[in-house]
Chain A
Amino acid sequence: MNSLEVRNLSKTFTIIRNRAETVSGFFIDLARFWRRVEHIPFTALQNIAFSVAAGETLGIVGANGSGKSTLLKLLAGIYTPTSGTIRVNGRLVALLELGAGFHPELSGRENILLNGALYGHTRVSMARRVAEIAAFAEIVPFLDTPLKHYSSGMQARLGFAIAMATPAEIMLLDEVLAVGDLAFQAQCVAKLRELQAAGRTLVLVSHTLELVQDLCDRAIWLDKGCLMAEGSPEEVIAAYAAHSAMPAAQTPVWSG
């Protein structure tokens, strides 16, 4: 059974020039009896089709602006597709940015409850996981300190720890491993392998090609909104690297 099935998916953003953006502007337009509104379509994704089998890990690679994040937002339900269909079998959680929804004035503990709630978990169920999350994020002594006093590394670790403590059947991860020091990254990779072993479906967007190669069963390559290649991580990364006019060996890798 497939966890995700994407058919003929397209997303066009319309950049509207000269449209009234304010109530006052709206009335001025009405009074003028004309509006020269320009609609400039921008196609972020064009006719994308792929599927992810249950328990599989799919990597998505591509240059900046190729549509990777748009694709994840569509899968997550944050954006609405212009055309095409997305079928999701199972509970899906999208981690587009670690610490999205954190508030600096709240303590680590309160942020765990708030963040969990924004992802659809009750405060009671999150309260039961506080100890486990704090231990993994290595913030136990600072649990009741306001988040504004945390280092950025601590905040990122807390974000990742919350996400890992509330696993869903399908998890979308956008570049979330590009944080933390080497030791924490190793811990993160170990955690992802645990999720794989537990049969979760993962979709991973990353510029860290080594990671895609290590973790993913399959990969797709997006360029300017089009699906360029699909297949084993080795093939897809090779095609992407060749297209970027850089030998695969010299492809910048940010971390190990």
Chain B
Amino acid sequence: MSLFRYRDAAFSLALLNLRLRYNNTLIGAAWSLVNPLFFMLIFTFVFSVLLPNDTPDFPVFVLSALLAWNYFQAAISNAAISVTNGRGLVLKIAFPRAVLPLAAILTELVTFSLALSVVIGVLYLSGRGLGAGLLALPLLVLLLTLLAIGVGLALAALNVRLRDTQEFLSVFLFGWFFLTPILYRLESIPAERELFGISARAFVQVINPLSPLITAFRQAIYEQRFPDLALLGSAALAACVLFIGGVLIFGRASRTFAETL
């Protein structure tokens, strides 16, 4: 059963998700922008009024990483519940099970692409381009999507077996958010700070596969330059390892989804 033959199933389900999300809403697709903008305003208020810092253009600094994070966390959260929510389909129709998490991630990819395009458009209009960073964005979006697919597939399979995976995930994501250089730079962590015997910077980099990719997004959008190649290398490595891991886990677990659900 080739996944390619069922590509329109993922597409149709993503279309359904988008339609349900934006039907009966006043401002429709603009909602996908409201959320990151609101977060950006809050963080800007906190970090320029309450806890001032000297980062220039702080809103852009935050937004450059926050958009990517929002996409990632929405993609893996929705992928995690996709198979359990799709129980009726899994039990009655023999399509490749990966269609469900892939449709969930595709939905978020569409929303993210819209939000990203608007933000980039606004940046150009305000006279602040992306320079060579623009060239790197398609690659960064691709790597982030691979990473989300890997993690999302594994979580979807886990949620079939242990149903409160989704509950744990929301707590886990809160911690993950602060362990990712979104509100700060990796370099802002004091160099002498140590965690578990290694430097805190190295710790965040090693333990968090998302860290290099988020930093690369920041270099492309905020620093207006092509991301460091070493950074892209580690981001690509993390994306490929997690993608392959997720595919293997899901492939193995999906054989008995119908029996378990």
Using CB atoms and an 8 Å cutoff, list the residues of chain A in contact with chain B: 13, 20-26, 73, 76-80, 94, 96-97, 100-101, 103, 105-106, 110, 113-114, 116-123
Contacts and interface: CB of A to CB of B under 8 A. Distances in A.
Interface in B1-52: 1, 5-9, 11-13, 16, 19-20, 23
B256 A80 contact: yes
A100 B88 contact: yes
B16 A23 contact: no
Interface string B242-261: 00000000000001101100
A80 B11 CA distance: 27
B164 interface: yes
Contact of A22 (B7, B162, B255): B162
Contacts of B7: 122
A100 B12 contact: no
Contacts of B13: 114
Given A21-B163, A113-B12, 19 more contacts: A20-B162, A22-B164, A23-B162, A73-B258, A76-B94, A77-B1, A78-B93, A80-B256, A101-B88, A101-B92, A105-B16, A117-B6, A117-B8, A117-B11, A118-B93, A119-B95, A120-B9, A122-B8, A123-B12
B122 interface: no
B11 A123 contact: yes
A100 B162 contact: no
A116 B12 CA distance: 10
B89 interface: yes
Nearest to A11: B259
B162 A21 contact: yes
B23 A105 contact: yes
B196 to A, nearest CB: 21
10 contacts: A13-B259, A20-B162, A22-B163, A96-B93, A105-B16, A105-B19, A118-B89, A120-B6, A122-B8, A123-B12
B91 interface: yes
Contact of A118 (B9, B19, B164): B9
A164 B70 CA distance: 43
Interface in B71-101: 88-95, 99
Contact of B168 (A23, A77, A103, A113): A23
A101 B94 CA distance: 11
A110 to B, nearest CB: 8
A97 B88 CA distance: 10
A123 B95 contact: no
Given A21-B163, A100-B93, A78 B16 contact: no
Nearest to B13: A114
In the A-B complex, the 10 residue pairs with the closest CB atoms: A100-B92, A117-B8, A117-B9, A22-B164, A114-B12, A117-B12, A76-B94, A77-B94, A123-B8, A78-B258
B89 A101 contact: yes
B93 A101 contact: yes
Contacts of B89: 100-101, 118
Contacts of A26: 162
Contacts of A110: 16
A110 B7 CA distance: 16
B234 interface: no
A114 B92 contact: no
Scoring B7, B88, B167, B259 by chain A CB atoms within 10 A of each residue's CB, the highest score goes to: B259
Contacts of A94: 93-94
Contacts of B9: 114, 117-118, 120
Contacts of A117: 6, 8-9, 11-12
B103 to A, nearest CB: 10
A114 to B, nearest CB: 4
Nearest to A80: B255
B5 A24 contact: no
A23 B9 CA distance: 31
Contacts of B259: 13, 79-80
Contact of A105 (B8, B20, B90, B168): B20
Contacts of A20: 162
B50 to A, nearest CB: 35
A20 B162 CA distance: 8
A24 B162 CA distance: 9
